[in-house]
Chains A and B, each alone.
Chain A
Amino acid sequence: MIESEEGVPNVLNLSEIAEREREEDERVVEIVREFGAENLIYCMQCGSCAAVCPLARVGFEWYNKKLIKALLLGMKEELLDDPTPWACVACNRCTEVCPRQVSPFEVMFAVRRMMVEEFAIPTLAIEGLRALYEYGHAVYMTGREARKKVGLPEKPPSTDSDEQALKDLKTILKNTKLAKLGLIPMND
């Protein structure tokens, strides 16, 4: 049998998925609802959100509509390695067009939270978290040398250069679930 690329088998055995939910005594739908996607159950799979989603356009496999269906069927493990939720650019076009007010964007982010709990995070995302903790920027601008050369201060005039602000941010982050999960070093 040809294994499909995304870790999702070619033939989905829905009963096995349901059985797993029963064994682990957790309902995937309820998990993501807890994580902020409470309107997920109103989705009728109309496809409007996928029509406007940039992820669907560039070929990500589990864009909003499809991801919602997968969750409604109780899929979780199959999706853990999938990069799609992390690619969501939070443009919220989907939120605007959804006739059932599902806020598919919230689903994307709820799935990220679910993935984090399972330590199923792409390296890139870990990098981002680390940078956030270190410098106050998830996407950190490199090139301190270049800034110096053109006569700019080495650090940009943001949290990065504001010692008190950075300290406050770190305190906040240490009080989030992030610290409990221990995904990144939070030593200082």
Chain B
Amino acid sequence: MSNDEKPRIGVYICHCGENIAGAVDVKAVAEFAKTLPDVVVVRDYLFMCSDPGQELIKQDIRDGLVNRVVVAACTPRTHEPIFRKACEDAGLNKYYFEMANIRDQCSWAHWHEKEKATEKAKAIVAAAVAKARLLEPLEDRYIELTKEVMVIGGGIAGIFAALDLANAGFKVHLVEKSPSIGGNMAKLDKTFPTNDCSACILTPLMVEVANHPNINLLTYSEVESVEGSVGNFKVKVRKKQTYVDWDKCTGCGACLDVCPPKARVPDEFNEGMSLRGAIYIPFPQAVPKKAVVDMDACIKCGGRDFSGKEPRLSKSGKPILAPCEKVCPTGAADRTPYRDPNGELVELNVGAIIVATGYKVMDKHHFKEFAPEHPNVITAMQMERLISATGPSEGKLIKPSEIPKLLEAKKKGEKVEVEKPHTITFISCVGSRDNRYHTYCSRVCCMYMLKQAMILKEKYPDLDIYIFFIDVRTPGKDFDEYYMRCRQLGIKIIKGRAGGIQPLPDDRLLVKGYDAEIGKPVEVVTDIAVLATAIEPNPTLKELARTLGINVGAEGFLKERHTKLYPVDTMTEGIFIAGCAQGPKDIPDSVAQAKAAAASAMSLLDPGKMTVEPLISEVNKEKCTGCGICVPLCPYGAISLVECEDGKKKSEINPALCKGCGVCTAACPSKAITLHGFTYDQVLAQIKTIARWPEIPAE
């Protein structure tokens, strides 16, 4: 079928059940469509996208009845690909297809104005027909895909995404901003709903990541810039300066406790409940197990930083070394060589990106009503550290206010008596379901409060444990059974979120609440109060999203392309999301999403090449004057001025980068740029039809 054949247009009008037919008189639109120029067939059907509906179109094409197709229906956003494919299957170039949106932009918008809706539908159909008369056949393009993937974030989600891809033979670059992978799960003691030890199930996976031949692990690194598009992203990753020679560091840990007191800062891994030195390894099971120097904390012992100075000599002629240098048996902590504070820039070329940067928990200091300055008011994440064997008290349950005493004694090798709690009180929804902070439910706190209470009660049956809930939410597999187990243990569930905490003179805390089940205010005198503070997006997530060109939702988490149908995709093709970066969720869900994202990246990249719509812009070199106006306008950097044979500079568009946005087309003063599928003539024909309505322009 050549393109100079006179157009014979088929118009197919969909009822969309009642969605269109409920407001638009479909029969009237059909009758009207028959009067339009070049229209030879008009049909309507209950669901045009159904098999029999599509068959109507295909049969007319096969019979040679029509050579241009207009479907008046829901929206091209979801259905244009379906009808294009139907045209192609029947042997018609699929770009001889045009869609008239009479549902989203007509029937739904004018549901209560049947007559006007019908009139508008006619105009929309007429405009589509006007454009269809001028359609040209186009050929699909292909781009080569790089079979490598970058995973950002090395929590449980990033770990699984990386492993699945690597096992399938894809090269993976795992970029983690902290010195070790593991994420928040590494801090947890045991994990609901099975109560298996977090480190026991996580550590082997971390080691597998480090040893995998297909994984390039980039810890202490952050993404700096991303260019290009699906199949061919060019990424710059900043490897931060570790100030320790990782080739030499064996992770022996000799340097961990040598920094002087002034260089000791709150330990992130223990949620600030203990101190670490400026030189540190984040936690005992860290992967890679290497030390880094935190330059903000380092006090430059021996008066020496890392700018390549030789050590000063003492009177006896011995070099004056910093404590870390002195103890390091391998010379990894050597301060003499110059180390660039900017670290190193690594360039990657990847076909797809998975973002799994996780979450942070809200700090207790926001909540003045809960006496946040009191050491025995802690967040639930701090409770995880308090009961963990790798925590500040090595898993012994003590009052948090006693930790400094315990650590001091440990350092001196002495034994001390520390106070143990008798009562522990949990408070739910702190910062969640709260218009002042976050309107959403953090989804995991109900379960982890029950978990912590259960672990404690099973280990110390004499503990008196209270949990103040707005309501207990346990909608996961095996979750409600878990909750019932807690109740049976005698953990006291109070229905009502506590309203405040008052510190008592004896170092204890008075929790004031209300039990809706008894219908009375209640009070609990407690030794420890645990706040289930909300899960929040990482503070740097917005910036990362901007770098990647993906969106964040109102609450600051990454936005998926479609909540139900494309839950791990983003609006930018080739970029996927997984885990808590997308929204609060537990480990089972984070892992499921990670595997889904990995599978999506695989099915995208595995064919090695990909079809791209030819709906992009092209420069007519004859018309182009080389003014260059278009070059800086292109949001995708697809346009450049190149020298032609005659020595003149003309604009050229890189088809691999052009997204067909049309900015250049509209801006070119010489009308030298054509956006295929949306040519001047086509778009003007549409506009004229609408503008002169109800008159139908002849040509």
Q: Which residues of A contact B (CB under 8 A)?
A: 8, 10-15, 18, 27, 29, 41-45, 65-66, 69-70, 72-73
Contact = CB atoms under 8 A, between A and B. Distances in A.
A42 to B, nearest CB: 7
Contacts of B523: 11-15
A44 B484 contact: yes
A12 B487 contact: no
B518 to A, nearest CB: 6
A45 B525 contact: no
A66 B519 CA distance: 9
Contact of B521 (A12, A18, A29, A44): A12
Interface string B575-597: 00000000000000000000000
A44 B487 contact: yes
Interface in B462-480: 464, 466
A45 B520 CA distance: 16
A22 to B, nearest CB: 8
Given A12-B523, A14-B523, A44-B484, 5 more contacts: A13-B525, A14-B492, A41-B488, A69-B515, A73-B518
Contact of A42 (B484, B519, B526): B484
B519 to A, nearest CB: 8
A64 to B, nearest CB: 12
Contact of A66 (B518, B524, B525): B518
B490 A15 contact: no
Nearest to B513: A14
A41 B493 CA distance: 12
Contacts of A45: 493, 495, 517
Contacts of A65: 517
Nearest to B508: A15
A177 B488 CA distance: 30
A80 B259 CA distance: 63
B524 A11 contact: no
Interface string B487-519: 110101111000000000000000000010111
Interface in B408-423: 423
Interface string B432-475: 00000000000000000000000000000000101000000000
A55 to B, nearest CB: 16
A86 to B, nearest CB: 20
Which of A11, A12, A15, A45 lies at the interface centre, i.e. has the most chain B CB atoms within 10 A of its CB?
Answer: A15
A15 B525 contact: yes
A42 B488 CA distance: 6
B518 A70 contact: yes
A14 B522 contact: yes
Interface of B: 423, 464, 466, 484, 487-488, 490, 492-495, 515, 517-526
B423 A15 contact: yes
Given A41-B487, A45-B495, A15 B526 contact: yes
B521 A42 contact: no
Contacts of A41: 487-488, 490
Contacts of A13: 522-525
Given A41-B488, A41-B490, A15 B464 contact: yes
A49 B525 CA distance: 32
Nearest to A72: B492
A10 B520 CA distance: 7
Contacts of A8: 520
Nearest to A70: B518
B489 to A, nearest CB: 9
B69 to A, nearest CB: 57
Contacts of B493: 45
A49 to B, nearest CB: 13
Contacts of A69: 515, 517-518
B426 to A, nearest CB: 14
A12 B522 contact: yes
Contacts of B484: 42, 44
Given A41-B488, A42-B484, A66 B515 contact: no
20 contacts: A8-B520, A10-B521, A12-B522, A12-B523, A13-B522, A13-B524, A13-B525, A14-B492, A15-B523, A41-B488, A41-B490, A44-B487, A45-B495, A45-B517, A65-B517, A66-B518, A69-B517, A69-B518, A72-B492, A73-B492
B464 A66 contact: no
Contacts of B520: 8, 10-12
A5 to B, nearest CB: 13
Nearest to A9: B520
Nearest to A11: B521
B483 to A, nearest CB: 8
B423 A18 contact: yes
A67 to B, nearest CB: 10
Contacts of A70: 518
Contacts of B524: 13-15
Contacts of B525: 13, 15
B256 to A, nearest CB: 41
B41 to A, nearest CB: 61
B550 to A, nearest CB: 42
Report the 4 A-B pairs with minimum CB-CB distance, sorted nearest first: A15-B525, A69-B517, A12-B522, A11-B521
Nearest to B462: A22
Contacts of A18: 423, 464
A127 to B, nearest CB: 31
B60 to A, nearest CB: 59
Contacts of A66: 517-519
A14 B498 CA distance: 13
Contacts of B490: 27, 29, 41, 72
Contacts of A44: 484, 487
A181 B484 CA distance: 37
A65 B488 CA distance: 16
A32 B206 CA distance: 50
A12 B488 CA distance: 22
Contacts of A10: 520-521
Contacts of A14: 466, 492, 494, 522-524
A176 B677 CA distance: 96
Contact of B487 (A11, A15, A42): A42
Contacts of A43: 487
A32 to B, nearest CB: 13
A10 B522 CA distance: 9
A45 B472 CA distance: 11
A12 B515 contact: yes
A1 to B, nearest CB: 12
Contact of B522 (A11, A27, A42): A11
B665 to A, nearest CB: 64
A14 B490 CA distance: 14
B474 to A, nearest CB: 11
Nearest to A8: B520
